[in-house]
Chains A and B, each alone.
Chain A
Amino acid sequence: MTHPLQEQLSLYLDGELDPADSGRLEAHLADCPTCGALLTELRRVMGRAQALEDRPPRADLWPGVAAAIGVKPAPRRRFSLTVPQLLAAGVVLMVLSGGGVAGALHLRGGGLRSVAPGESRPAIERSVSATSEHGYEAAIRRLEAELLADRGQLDSMTVRVVEEKLRLIDRALLEAERALAADPANAYLTGHLTDTRMRKLDLLRQAIALSRAVS
């Protein structure tokens, strides 16, 4: 019996043989247990390849990545301003910023990004609304209104993710505000509240940017 080239078995499994060659091979396989057995083995190898599982690194690589991209550990108690002091600073920054939270979105060429790769968003921009009670609330209302108007541009899954993230942030905000009400001089809580507010602003900004990028 003349057997086909072994490689034809792989090509057959991959659907790479033309119909005529496939027909000839199938006719041969019907009468040749040797080639049939080899075909089965090759198919099992393919199945094993598909079933392989991922393996985590032996150690967390994030510290090395973070160091390389210039990310520092989250600051804790870098300052001890009270809420009124932060509010005052926020008002100043609001004036400096021109009050344009929505203007902080810089869409370039239809893309989603705000700044160049590796750059951090300017500190002043990140501080503006989150540190101003009035400015923060105004910015949130404005961004939420914009997102509501634009949400039709997003697919339903993305909307669900954004809404879920907003719910989580709102819950964190509520807890932080309650804790701060009980301990107004706590600098850590103040910083935590500020960070959480900035996260909400960032999320709203990016969701709006996303909706505009896909529209």
Chain B
Amino acid sequence: MTPTSLDASTLRTSDAVAPDADAVDAALAASGDASAYERLYRRHVNRIHTLVCRMMGEDAEDVTQEVLIRAWQKMGTFRGEAAFGTWLHRLAVNVVLNRRSARGRWRKFFVEEPAGGLDHPARPLPPAAGVDFETAIAGLSPGARQVFVLHDVEGYRHQEIAGLLGISVGTSKSQLHYARMALRQTLG
């Protein structure tokens, strides 16, 4: 007997809601049951909205809506191999990233962090102390923000992030460090 797949993903998404209820409603939604899909929407919309906004660096309800429309259109491809929340989360990440027409456009968002130890003069790091942590994340450069949100908030690994963003693993690591260094200013 193979138990119903309730994926124990490392991603933060999968523990947000009860996966058993999701499994039933996802099956119903895949057969065209809009009521079941609305229940899925209610359980996941806050999570997806937050993810999209953090990745975009701004309130992005239109993108959130786009994600949820695409999810309905793709329900037939959901096989229950991962938790519905994980599947939806990955779809959201892809929608956000696809908003950039070409991967090449991403590269310019990745700022170069100067090499060196603490003996090197530190460059000014935005944001200033006292800024709200969410606001500070939004204020990061797009590349550093994407890496930070995916790694430290959402639990992705550098290898996955590098693949998603079309960058090297080393760049992902350095961007993450840059983001953490910047955000530590907000801790007060």
Contacts and interface: CB of A to CB of B under 8 A. Distances in A.
Given A69-B73, A213-B80, A54 B6 contact: no
Contacts of B47: 54
Given A111-B79, A157-B20, A54 B46 contact: yes
A114 B184 CA distance: 51
A16 B116 CA distance: 19
Interface in A185-205: 199, 202-203, 205
A10 B38 contact: no
Contact of B38 (A54, A66, A161, A165): A66
Contact of B69 (A54, A65, A121, A162): A65
Contacts, number: 194
B181 interface: yes
B64 A57 contact: yes
B101 interface: no
Given A52-B153, A155-B6, A113 B76 contact: yes
B176 to A, nearest CB: 6
B23 interface: yes
Given A61-B68, A65-B69, A154-B3, 8 more contacts: A7-B113, A16-B173, A112-B27, A115-B31, A118-B72, A157-B4, A207-B24, A214-B2
Interface of A: 2-7, 9-11, 14, 16, 34-35, 38, 41-42, 44-46, 48-50, 52-59, 61-62, 64-66, 68-69, 71, 111-121, 152-155, 157-158, 160-162, 165, 199, 202-203, 205-207, 209-210, 213-215
Q: What 4 pairs across the A-B complex have the smallest Cβ distances? A: A3-B117, A155-B3, A117-B76, A49-B152
19 contacts: A10-B173, A10-B177, A16-B173, A45-B187, A52-B153, A53-B50, A112-B30, A112-B80, A113-B27, A115-B32, A117-B72, A118-B32, A121-B32, A152-B1, A153-B1, A155-B6, A161-B18, A207-B24, A209-B31
